[in-house]
Structures are given as structure tokens and as C-alpha cells.
Structure 1
């Protein structure tokens, strides 16, 4: 195994080993325990673990953490850029967080239903930056007719998410940062439109890191807005650095307590 990969996977292997020591098949605690249950079920049924190996578990965990980490950090950097450019939006988010999160505790996922504007901002930053330009690649299992063409069986297909995120047919003024596009006249999230923002792909084979990344994005973004106001003496670039994940170019930010 590549030494770099081995170093990345080392803490995950230690986590799995610790879980196995305290594993109770009658009280699974999390994904790792449920995976152990699947291993036991396969052994009881077939006499071996089949594809449910410990190495596969480590790879799955790597996907969860890497996908969740990379997308979260990139989103937060873009969110800072757009809050710097749109201080009035930043003020609205801060006001909503102050109203929804009573007392001095940190925001939590359970607060999201009370924070439609913050949710709209998250959706709009994700949409307009399309920092994950391609969806998870898939492979056709049969010949597929599509708009007068035939995609042969066995063809690798990469969904072009960025094309959808800037489509005028869906968004109208697609080049404009306008979070309120996701809100109805009562200020509630238009779920059908929010569902159009799918950076993790859709279906059974969507990115494994999606649930983790979405929770992290909401908690970290609202926590930053809860405790800080972002500004800059220099203008950040809205042109991304070209890579598989389109992150913003380095920029400077001034952080002050909210008013």
C-alpha cells in the first residue's frame, strides 16, 4: 500500500479496532457497528465475509471522511468570499442565527428548520460556485438512447453538474448571487428548487459523504456567522483555482465580533 495512503488510513484502522473490542451486535451504535453486523450475517449465511472485508470498510470510511472534509472546507472558504462581497446577506444570516439559537450555545442541525435564510444562503453559495463541477461517475449497464444518440453499455458517464447550476432555464439570473430565490413569499425554503442543487449526485450511488458534509456545512457556517463578522481590505477573487474541486484562490479576511 502507498505510504501516504497508509498514513491517512491509520487512524481509521485504529477506530475500527477500537469498535470491534466493544462491538455488541444487539446494540449497533453507528455505521462501523452496522458493517460488523453485515459481516456476521454474511458469515452465518455464506461462511465468509465476501466483499464485506475490513479493507473495504476502511475504504468506505475514507470516502466518508475525505468527501465530507474536502467539500466542507471548500464550501466554507467560498461562503466567506460571498459574505465579504454581500455584507447585507451576512447581516441577515447573523440576525437569523441570533433569533433561532437561543442562549449562548452553538448552533445545531436541529436548528436548521428555523433558519430558512441561512439554508438558502448555503444553497446559493453551493450553486453559484459549483465547486464540485462533476458528479460521481457512473457506468451504463445497457445501451441508453439519449437525445438522438446511443450511449453504449459499459460507457463511463460523468454528470456535468456545473452546467445545470448555471442554466438560465432553471435559475433565470443564474450569474447573480441571490439566496432569496430559494424562499417563497412566506420566507420558507422552496424545497423543489433546493432539490435542484445536488453537488453529491442523486440515487443509490450518490456520494457517501453527503450526509456528513451537509451537517458540517450547516453547523460550521452558522457557527462562524454566530460569532464573527467577515470583511476584507482587499477584494477576493471569485475566479476559482482550477482543480477537480474548484476552491477559491487565497484571500485575506478580517474577522471581528458581530455588532
Structure 2
């Protein structure tokens, strides 16, 4: 396509993440789709997955963000036991909010400091 200079172009992330040609069961929350048969991250990310954008506007902090997220998550999981309240089942449905933005349903969690911390 020829796009006139100065035109604002937005990526439709909702469409990218819900394309049945790219994703098996795109409406389902399934983190396993990013793992290989050994439970490790697949070496190549799908073309339709752009959490840090793409092209000239790609996030410069992606290489810093990924290991930082791992360290923060590991720290939280080492220090705290995180669970749902007794008898509560998780609701993984999302709700559309504005232009292609989905937000998870509200839910409560129980966070307890692990013993010996």
C-alpha cells in the first residue's frame, strides 16, 4: 500500500492476536502455544505476536524488559505464595475496552509471605 507521508498508522493488536489463520483457538488463553514439546520457549516467535511492536517503532527496551520480567517474577514467586481464595475458580475471560484493548475480568487473589522470608 502507498501510505501518504504524515499518516498515522496503528497496529491492530486485537486482530493480530485473534487471527484463526495464525493461532489455534485464538479466543482461548493458552500460554502453551509458545512452548515446544519439552516445555521450553520456542526459538522463533510467531509473526502475529508483536508485544514490543515492530519496524521503526519497535521498543528499544525489549532486550532489557524480558530478563527483568523474569527476575521480578522469580523474586515475587520466591517471596510469596499466590493463590485464589478457597472455592474460587479463575475467570480467564477478557472484556473489550476501547480500540482493540482487552482487559481481564476482576478477581481476588490471596498473597501470603512464604515461611522463612
Mark yes or no: TM-score above 0.5. Answer: yes
Superposition map of 1:83-98 within 5 A: none
Cα gap change, 1:228/1:183 in structure 2, threshold over 3 Å: closer, same or farther? same
Where do 5+ consecutive residues of structure 2 fail to align?
none
Q: Does 1:253 align with 2:109?
A: yes
Where do 5+ consecutive residues of structure 1 fail to align?
1-144
TM-score by length of 1: 0.35
Per the alignment, in what secondary structure is the counterpart of residue 75 of structure 2?
helix
Superposition map of 1:20-169 within 5 A: 145=1, 150-169=2-21
Higher-Rg structure is 1
Aligned-pair RMSD on alpha carbons?
A: 3.2
Q: Does 1:213 align with 2:69?
A: no
Cα gap change, 1:160/1:214 in structure 2, threshold over 3 Å: closer, same or farther? same
Q: Is the 8 A contact 2:81 2:111 kept in 1?
A: yes
Matches of 1:158 and 1:241, distance apart in 2: 17
Q: Does 1:223 align with 2:75?
A: yes
Displacement after TM superposition at 1:248 (Å): 4.1
Matches of 1:175 and 1:205, distance apart in 2: 27
Larger strand fraction of residues = 2
Cα gap change, 1:214/1:178 in structure 2, threshold over 3 Å: closer, same or farther? same
TM-score by length of 2: 0.66
Displacement after TM superposition at 1:217 (Å): 2.0
Q: Is the 8 A contact 2:94 2:102 kept in 1?
A: no
Q: Is the 8 A contact 1:241 1:249 kept in 2?
A: no
Displacement after TM superposition at 1:157 (Å): 0.4
